[in-house]
């Protein structure tokens, strides 16, 4: 009877207010994340125009990843504050920093206006936001879990994950509305700034909600009893029993969760738009539909984790992702750009070149010209979004590109002057593009040929994997660590996984594709990490569902 009464007891405080107050930060986090990801090509144009196209795009992704690089440091700084002077106070600081840094991105001058200072300022804003975000998620998960009644932590904390998807959905809606209202030309020139500027409204609402919150009852009880930690960093990371839990949380839970999340909700968008050349607006629409259909499953798997445990659901999501990513993305190619899939099958492209003449086309200072035949050919193929294989030729052999059975000689521009090389390259690229199109390679995906139901179905399946690994993760992390150092301890492994392994996924995967020419090669990164997490989690993670979290 006592247990039943406890189970039925209402949560302390207003359920909706607790969940909303804790979750608005994740809305902000993912709103900014997907804004930057969706608008990466525009950011490349406006902030990294001083380098070649491939380098510029990698730089844009690196600036995107810079915010993730500092998240673990933010986790240490704000996690410590959260354990020292409360969840609510830390919430307000991180929220204000996040909101202002997102807003300022919409005001930054472009490279054409202030030169190299433009990308420096952009990266500075990304770093500031990354620091604030490092203290955000651990606080949100801790705050909600410490309010939840016994047996419902998975259900309650899973709402945090749905609002993360809401942030993505909100960003897609804002982008679509602005694009529709002002047109593509104006959006490309200046309209891309509007979604960043609109974030100031979200900041105002978020701060208003959080100012109405009370402190976490578990933290307040520790304060009243004088049991709060005086050295949360020392207790978390310099004492082996807890440090071991931090390491296991990273390797056996958050690493796999991070790469599955980023692959399913960001890399899929990047793959459709950058690799398969699907129109950006259509890509956003397809992703939005898949998210609407998939988002309720965050709640489903959060609720289910209260019944069967956190570990089996999270690890099952990692295993399914590792086993099915290749067939899913190959099917996605056939569904989204059937002309590209058909051309790749009937007229595969191979670059036959002396390996010594091929370089990885990343030029941080914008001075390299990449004039070898191999570099010219691979640059043209990367720009066209055409995958290719590599074949080694004898030393000194001129580069040849095979398109099916036809061979096209590449441009060897090493002996040409800069202006002469540019003229010759433009002429060669025009002819080479015509050869690709004659072999069936389309300049972009034909919207009329996109199998929209199948694409949405595949994207939905990727979102389901996301909901499996992400729905129960907050409850799992909260239950691993003692209350006095919970904010600090759980924030670091979460942001090492999501900030480093997940945040660098787009950059790493794109670099892997650019280096090999295989549009699917980047998938080896999330597959390897997800498989590793499944093994570590299976053997070393202890199921902690239902553990008391008051001490």
Beta-carbon contacts of residue 76 (< 8 Å; ≥ 6 apart): 134, 233, 488, 491, 492
Number of Cβ within a 10 Å radius of residue 415: 8
d(CA 293, CA 453): 12
Helix pair angle (117-134, 40-47), 10° resolution: 140
464-495 pLDDT, tens digit per residue, is 999 999 999 999 999 999 988 888 899 899 98
Structure token pair of residue 414: 């090493």
User: Alpha helices of 110-193 — where are they, by DSSP H?
Assistant: 111-114, 117-134, 136-145, 153-182, 184-189
DSSP string, 461-516: HHHHHHHHHHTTHHHHHHTTS-GGGHHHHHHHHHHIIIIIIITTHHHHHHHHHHHH
pLDDT of residue 71: 86
- Contacts of 357-366 spanning 24+ positions with Cβ under 8 A: 357/399, 358/390, 360/511, 360/514, 360/515, 361/52, 361/54, 361/55, 361/514, 362/54, 362/55, 362/58, 362/511, 363/51, 363/52, 363/55, 364/51, 364/55, 364/59, 365/51, 366/50, 366/51, 366/52, 366/55
The residue with tokens 């640059």 is 379
- Is 184 in contact with 111 (CB distance < 8 Å)? no
Q: Reading across the β-sheet that carries 406-409, which strands appear in turn? A: 389-392, 349-353, 400-403, 406-409
pLDDT of residue 4: 34
Structure token pair of residue 385: 């979004």
What are residue 390's DSSP bridge partners?
A: 351
511-526 pLDDT, tens digit per residue, is 788 778 889 999 999 9
pLDDT of residue 3: 38
- Is 423 in contact with 254 (CB distance < 8 Å)? no
**Terminal Cα distance for the chain, rounded:** 24
- Is 449 in contact with 339 (CB distance < 8 Å)? yes
Helix pair angle (71-85, 87-105), 10° resolution: 150
- Is 37 in contact with 266 (CB distance < 8 Å)? yes
Q: Give SS3 for 520.
A: coil
241 CA to centre of own chain: 31
d(CA 206, CA 519): 40
Q: What is the DSSP letter of 399?
A: P
CA dihedral 304, 308, 311, 315 (to 10 degrees): -70
Measured CA to CA in angstroms, residue 537 lies from 312, 476, 499 at distances of 9, 12, 20
The residue with tokens 């609407």 is 292
Q: Give SS3 for 319.
A: helix
Beta-carbon contacts of residue 312 (< 8 Å; ≥ 6 apart): 543
Q: Which residues of the chain have pLDDT under 70?
A: 1-14, 37, 50-58, 61, 164, 361-369, 551
Beta-carbon contacts of residue 323 (< 8 Å; ≥ 6 apart): none
471 CA to centre of own chain: 16
pLDDT of residue 136: 78
- Is 31 in contact with 167 (CB distance < 8 Å)? yes
pLDDT of residue 347: 95
Q: What is the DSSP letter of 367?
A: -
pLDDT of residue 8: 34
265-316 pLDDT, tens digit per residue, is 889 988 998 889 999 889 988 988 998 899 999 999 999 999 999 999 999 9
Structural domains for the chain: 15-337+447-540 (1.20.1250.20), 342-438 (3.40.30)
d(CA 150, CA 142): 14
pLDDT of residue 364: 46
| Radius of gyration of the CA atoms of the chain, in A | 25
User: Alpha helices of 193-295 — where are they, by DSSP H?
Assistant: 194-211, 217-225, 232-237, 240-249, 255-262, 268-270, 280-294
d(CA 221, CA 228): 9
Burial (0-12, 13-18, 19+ Cβ within 10 Å), 241: exposed
d(CA 340, CA 346): 10
């Amino acid at each position: 009877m006592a247990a039943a009464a406890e189970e039925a007891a209402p949560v302390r405080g207003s359920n909706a207010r607790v969940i909303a107050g804790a979750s608005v930060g994740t809305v902000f986090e993912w709103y900014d994340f997907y804004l930057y990801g969706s608008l990466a090509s525009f950011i490349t144009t406006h902030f990294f125009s001083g380098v070649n196209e491939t380098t510029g795009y990698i730089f844009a992704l690196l600036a995107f990843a810079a915010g993730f690089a500092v998240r673990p440091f933010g986790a240490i700084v704000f996690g410590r504050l959260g354990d020292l002077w409360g969840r609510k106070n830390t919430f307000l600081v991180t929220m204000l920093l996040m909101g202002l840094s997102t807003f300022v991105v919409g005001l930054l001058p472009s490279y054409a206006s202030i030169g190299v200072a433009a990308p420096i300022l952009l990266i500075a804003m990304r770093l500031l936001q990354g620091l604030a975000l490092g203290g955000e998620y651990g606080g949100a998960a801790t705050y909600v879990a410490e309010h939840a009644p016994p047996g419902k932590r998975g259900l309650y904390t899973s709402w945090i994950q749905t609002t993360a998807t809401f942030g993505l959905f909100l960003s897609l809606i804002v982008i679509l509305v602005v694009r529709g209202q002002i047109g593509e030309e104006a959006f490309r020139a200046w309209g891309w700034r509007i979604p960043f500027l609109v974030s100031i409204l979200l900041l105002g609402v978020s701060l208003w909600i959080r100012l109405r919150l009370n402190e976490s009852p578990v933290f307040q009880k520790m304060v009243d009893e004088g049991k709060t930690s005086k050295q949360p960093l020392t207790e978390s990371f310099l004492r082996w029993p807890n440090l071991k839990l931090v390491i296991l949380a990273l390797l056996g839970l958050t690493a796999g969760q991070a790469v599955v999340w980023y692959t399913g909700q960001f890399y899929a968008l990047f793959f459709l738009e950058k690799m398969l050349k699907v129109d950006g607006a259509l890509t956003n629409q397809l992703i939005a539909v898949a998210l609407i259909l998939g988002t309720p499953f965050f709640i489903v798997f959060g609720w289910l984790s209260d019944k069967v445990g956190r570990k089996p659901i999270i690890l099952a999501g990692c295993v399914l992702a590792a086993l099915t990513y290749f067939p899913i993305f190959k099917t996605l190619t056939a569904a989204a750009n059937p002309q590209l899939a058909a051309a790749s099958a009937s007229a595969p492209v191979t670059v036959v070149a002396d390996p010594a003449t091929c370089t990885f086309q990343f030029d941080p200072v914008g001075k390299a010209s990449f004039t070898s035949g191999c570099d010219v050919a691979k640059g043209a193929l990367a720009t066209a979004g055409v995958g290719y294989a590599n074949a080694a030729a004898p030393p000194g052999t001129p580069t040849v590109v095979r398109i099916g059975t036809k061979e096209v000689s590449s441009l060897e521009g090493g002996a040409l002057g800069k202006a002469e090389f540019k003229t010759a390259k433009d002429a060669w690229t025009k002819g080479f593009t015509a050869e690709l199109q004659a072999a069936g390679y389309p300049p972009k995906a034909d919207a009329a040929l996109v199998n929209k139901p199948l694409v949405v179905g595949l994207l939905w399946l990727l979102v389901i994997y996301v909901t499996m690994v992400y729905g129960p993760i907050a409850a799992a992390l909260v239950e691993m660590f003692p209350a006095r150092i919970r904010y600090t301890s759980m924030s670091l492994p979460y942001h090492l996984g999501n900030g480093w392994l997940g945040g660098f996924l787009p950059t790493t995967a794109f670099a892997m594709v650019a280096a090999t020419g295989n549009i699917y090669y980047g998938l080896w990164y999330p597959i390897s990490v997800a498989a590793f997490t499944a093994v570590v989690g299976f053997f070393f993670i202890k199921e902690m569902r239902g553990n008391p979290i008051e001490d």
